[in-house]
Amino acid sequence: MAEKILLGIEGGGTRTTALFLDTQGSVRERRELGPGNLRLLTEAGLAALFRNIARGSPRPAAVGIGLAGVRTEGDRQLVRQTAAQIWPGIPCLATNDLEIALAAVDGPVPASRKVLILSGTGSCCFGQAGGEAGIKVGGWGHLLGDRGSGYDIGISGLRSVIDFFDHQRQWPALGATLLRMLLLNQPEDLIAWVQTASKAEIAALAPGIFSAWSAGDRLARSIIQAAAGRLAADAMACAGHLCARQKRPVLFVSAGAVLLKQPAFDQLVQRQIRKAWPGARFLRLEKEGAWGAAVLAETLLGNGQGPTPAREAPPVPGGSPKAAAVTPGLGLTQSPTEQRNPRSLRLDRMSIASAVELMLSEDASITTSIGREKRKIVRAIGWIAHAFKQGGRLFYAGAGTSGRLGVLDASECPPTFGSDPDLVQGIMAGGFQALWNSIEGAEDDADGGSQAIRSRRVRAGDVVVGIAASGRTPFVWGALREAARLGARTVLLAFNPSLLLPRDFRPDLVIAPNLGPEVLTGSTRLKAGTATKLILNMFTTLAMVRTGKVISNLMIDLRPTNVKLQDRAARIVLQLAGCDYEQARRALEQNDWNIKQALRSIRR
C-alpha cells in the first residue's frame, strides 16, 4: 500500500514554503518559492505557484493551504479551485496563514485561549478559544496597519533619521547605516528610492535598525521600543476580545521572521504584555506554518478509508458562512433570469433590425410587469419617506449590475435633491473597484454583506433594499439579515417570483416582478437592469417629493454646480417667483445659488 503524503503550503508576502510530510510527521521534502500573498497574486500567478510546488514532487493524499490575504469564502474557493487544477481529485483545505500557524503549535497547550503574534514583513494578531472562529487584530496592510512589523520598523527608521536631520541639522549614525544598506550617497537620494520601494524592500531595513539598537543607538532604541509597544497593544486587544475583556490566562505565541530572528525584540514585546496581562504565558513557534497546514490537511483523510470531502477551517473575520446557510433553497435554473427566451433562440442569425425590434418589444412589457407590484412599491416608498423624515437613511445592497445601479441612484441624489451623501448610500459587493471590474467571489460572500451593513452603521429607522435579479445573491442576503438584526426595515427587490424564501428569515417586503427570460440568457443587465433603474427612480424621487424637496414638478433643492444647472436653477426661480430671468439669476448669485433662499429674497 502506497504511503500517504501530506502537503502543507504557507504563503506570505515574502516567500512561500511547501512541506511534504508522511503521516508520521517526517519531512520528505521542503521547498521555498516566491511570495504567496493572495492579494498580490493574479489567478494565473497562483496557479503557477502551485504548479512549481507540484513539479517533480510526490502526489499528496491531502493538501492544506494557508495564504496571507485569504479573508473571504470567495478567496478560499479560489484557492481550492486553483489547487484542484494542479492536484485533481485530492481533498484540499484552504484557509489563511494565521490559522495554520496556530495549528503548528507543538505539544500540550498551557491555556485554552491562544493569541498568535505574527511579525514578519507585515504583522497581525490572531486569537482562538477552543474550536470557535478566530479573532483578528491588525493585518490591514502596510498603508493602514502592520504595526510592529518589519515594514513598520523600516519606515519608522527612515522617518526618524529624516526628522532628526531636519531638527538637528546633523545626519545621524542610523541614517548612515541605512544609506550604506541601500548603496545611496546622501539623504536626498532617499526621496527617489522610497517612492519606488516595495513593502519588502522597506522591511529589509529592519535588521540594520535592530543591529543599531543592539549597539546602543538612541534613535534605533526609540524606534524598536515604539514598535514593540504597538505590537504588544494589538496582541492584548486581541486577547481582550477573546476573553471579553476579562484577563484570563492566555498563551501568546510568537511567530514570523521579526520575532523569531530577533529574540531580544520578542522579549521586549513579552515584557510589555506581561506588565498588563497577569497570567500571560509565552511560546515561540518553532515550526513553520506550513507544518500546521499539513496538520490540518491530515484531518481530510478521515478514518483511513481514503480522502473525504474537505472541511472548512474556521474563518477569520471577513470570511463568510456557506452560501446555502443564508440564501433561498430554490434552484437557480428555476429563476426566469436563467431561462432561455423562446423569442430569441435565433438571435445570432437575426438581422440587426429584427433584433432591435425584438429587444424593444421585450422592454415594452417591463412597465406592465412592474405595475403588478405597485402596491408593494408604494409601501416601500412610504417606509423610505418616513425614514427620511425621522432622520433615517436608505441603503441599497447588491452585486454586479444590481449593485452598480444602486450606487448610481444613490450618487445622483445629492446633486438632484441637495441631500446629504449619507442619506442614500449604495453598497457594492467587492467595493469601489467592482464598479468597473468583476471581483471574483464578491457576490458569494454573505459575511461581506453583513460586515458592510455593520461598517456603514445601519440602525433602527433605516431602510435597506437588497437588489438581486435572481433573488439568491449571498452578499445581498447577508446584508438583509444583518440589517434586520440591527432593527432596520428590509426590502428584497428581485425578478424571480417563484423564489422560495428561507424559513428562518423573510425580509419585511419582497418586490418580485416577473419579467420573463432575458433576450440574452442570464444577462440581467437587460430587462432586469432596466426594471431595477425604474423602481429605484420611484423609490428616491417620490420619497424626496414627500419630504418637501419638490414644488410642483420642480427641484427646489437642486445644487447648481455647473453652467447647465445654474441655468436650470434660474428658470426654476423665475417660474415659481413670477420674475424675469435676470432677477432670478441675480437673486441666486446673492444667495450662494440656494434656490429656496433666492425665492424668499424675491418674495420679500
Catalytic residue among 412, 482, 582, 589: 412
Q: What pLDDT was estimated at residue 323?
A: 39
Catalytic residue among 373, 443, 482, 518: 443
Contact residues for 390 (Cβ-Cβ < 8 A; gap 6+): 461
Instruction: Give yes or no for a contact between 290 and 9, defined as CB atoms under 8 angstroms apart.
Output: yes
**10 carries an active-site annotation:** no
Q: What pLDDT was estimated at residue 2?
A: 58
Please spell the DSSP secondary structure of 369-437, one letter per residue.
Answer: HHHTTHHHHHHHHHHHHHHHHTT--EEEEESHHHHHHHHHHHHHHHHHH---TTTEEEEETT-GGGGTS
Q: What pLDDT was estimated at residue 194?
A: 93
Domains and CATH numbers, the chain: 5-104+290-301 (3.30.420.40), 109-283 (3.30.420.40), 332-546 (3.40.50.10490), 551-603 (1.10.8.1080)
Contact residues for 535 (Cβ-Cβ < 8 A; gap 6+): 370, 377, 493, 511
Q: What pLDDT was estimated at residue 555?
A: 85
**286 carries an active-site annotation:** no
Q: What pLDDT was estimated at residue 65?
A: 95
- Three-class DSSP category at 36: coil
- Report residue 182 as a C-alpha cell: 541601500
Q: What pLDDT was estimated at residue 306?
A: 36
Q: What pLDDT was estimated at residue 304?
A: 40
Q: What pLDDT was estimated at residue 116?
A: 92
556/553 Cα distance (integer angstroms): 9
Nearest CA to 67 out of 40, 37, 35 is that of 37
- Report residue 439 as a C-alpha cell: 471581483
Amino acid, res. 250: V
Q: Residue 88: how many CB atoms within 10 A of its CB? A: 7
Contact residues for 579 (Cβ-Cβ < 8 A; gap 6+): 573, 587, 602
Q: What is the pLDDT of residues 403-432, one digit of tens each?
A: 999 999 999 999 889 888 889 989 998 887
Q: What pLDDT was estimated at residue 48?
A: 92
Question: What are the beta bridge partners of residue 425?
Answer: 395
- Helices 189-196 and 173-182: crossing angle, nearest 10°? 60
Point out the residues of the chain with pLDDT beneath 50: 1, 108-110, 303-326, 329-333
Q: In degrees to the nearest 10, what's the CA dihedral of 233, 235, 241, 243?
A: -110
Contact residues for 558 (Cβ-Cβ < 8 A; gap 6+): 415, 416, 417, 418, 565, 568, 569, 572, 595
User: What is the separation of C-alpha 454 from the centre of its chain, rounded to a whole number of angstroms?
Assistant: 13
In 494-557, at which residue ranges do the beta strands (DSSP E only) sit? 509-511, 550-551, 554-555
- Report residue 162 as a C-alpha cell: 529624516
* Radius of gyration, CA atoms only, the chain: 30
Give 174-181 contacts, CB < 8 A, sequence gap 24+.
174/209, 174/212, 174/217, 174/219, 174/220, 177/208, 177/209, 177/211, 177/212, 178/205, 178/208, 178/209, 181/205, 181/208
Q: What is the DSSP letter of 553?
A: T
Phi, psi of 473 (to 5 degrees): -60, 115
pTM over 0.75: no
Question: How far from each other are the two terminal CA atoms of the chain, in whole angstroms?
Answer: 98
Amino acid, res. 595: I
Q: Residue 68: how many CB atoms within 10 A of its CB? A: 27
Instruction: Give yes or no for a contact between 161 and 171, defined as CB atoms under 8 angstroms apart.
Output: yes
Contact residues for 28 (Cβ-Cβ < 8 A; gap 6+): 5, 20, 21, 22, 58
